[in-house]
């Protein structure tokens, strides 16, 4: 129960684990290098789209090989799983943690599916995260957009309580202004709402999606309110793409491993910044 160990440690010591998306070898290298440099436990996560690209078993084998080599605790997570059979497949493949995204599913049906998946995951010693609100945005480039969204779409604490109690999930992913993606301005969180959610489900771990581009003080406050997992994707993708583009525009080199080092290094810097902000350095 590696995931439970570190989630409990984060909850007790008031830090957050960084959950970093990856779909290729270079990004995994960047994440692991950062974690090793700062002695931090981490989550490496793959969305269904990233799994389709990388492969379910390859994600497991790559992660385990890096974990064995570096002795860094790596929690492998299926991020935003919507289809129950794919979530079960990740559990069976050896993932440590899975995320059921029921944000597009009618509430009562999401409870039913969440309960079934929770039982399935727990039988294999896997932690499960649940989501009932469609967390807006995406990991695309939103830098010409303002991070505004109706608060009517934010998490209803009473619904969160009902969902958690009836499914027995381990972690709840709330929507409190944490849009996915990078926008023209940094994102603010509704910290009062987050505190209300914390108080109504005090024994459930809390996850924060959309961790790119949130005001740092809001991140620190959210951790003090019980957030133990923060997802990061967009800032890493932007760093990787922009650096790779610059390198390719200024080299005649055709050996991939020779021009991939700088994109890896720049992505690693993003991960190290987040680990430092989240307070997970030195927590192994």
Q: Which residues are catalytic?
A: 79
Q: How far is the C-alpha of 268 from the C-alpha of 173, rounded, in Å?
A: 26
How far is residue 26 from each of residues 52, 151, 206, 251, 257, measured CA to CA in Å?
17, 38, 29, 19, 10
Whether 104 and 91 have beta carbons less than 8 Å apart is answered as: no
Which of 231, 213, 226 has the alpha carbon at shortest distance from 79? 231
Q: Cα–Cα distance between 91 and 259 in angstroms, integer?
A: 36
Nearest to 133 by CA among 170, 168, 165, 158: 158
Distances (CA, A) of 36 to 107, 116, 269: 41, 36, 13
């Amino acid at each position: 129960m590696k995931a439970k160990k570190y989630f409990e440690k984060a909850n007790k010591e008031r830090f957050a684990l960084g959950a970093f998306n990856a779909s290729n070898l270079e990004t995994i290298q960047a994440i692991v290098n950062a974690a090793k440099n700062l002695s931090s436990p981490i989550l490496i996560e793959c969305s269904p789209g990233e799994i389709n690209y990388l492969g379910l078993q390859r994600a497991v084998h790559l992660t385990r090989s890096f974990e064995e080599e570096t002795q860094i605790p790596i929690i492998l997570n299926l991020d935003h799983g919507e289809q129950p059979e794919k979530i079960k497949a990740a559990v069976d493949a050896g993932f440590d943690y899975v995320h059921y995204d029921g944000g597009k599913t009618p509430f009562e049906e999401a409870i039913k599916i969440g309960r079934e998946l929770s039982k399935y995951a727990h039988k294999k010693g896997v932690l499960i995260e649940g989501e009932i609100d469609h967390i807006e945005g995406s990991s695309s480039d939103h830098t010409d957009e303002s991070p505004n969204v109706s608060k009517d779409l934010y998490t209803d604490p009473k619904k969160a309580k009902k969902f958690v109690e009836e499914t027995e999930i381990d972690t709840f992913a709330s929507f409190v202004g944490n849009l996915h993606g990078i926008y023209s301005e940094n994102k603010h969180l509704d910290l009062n709402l987050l505190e209300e959610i914390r108080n109504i489900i005090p024994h459930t771990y809390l996850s924060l999606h959309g961790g790119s581009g949130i005001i740092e003080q809001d991140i620190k406050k959210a951790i003090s309110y019980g957030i133990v997992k923060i997802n990061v994707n967009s800032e890493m993708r932007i760093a990787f793409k922009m650096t790779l583009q610059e390198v390719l525009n200024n080299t005649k080199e055709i050996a991939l491993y020779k021009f991939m080092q700088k994109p890896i290094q720049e992505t690693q810097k993003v991960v190290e910044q987040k680990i430092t902000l989240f307070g997970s350095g030195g927590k192994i």
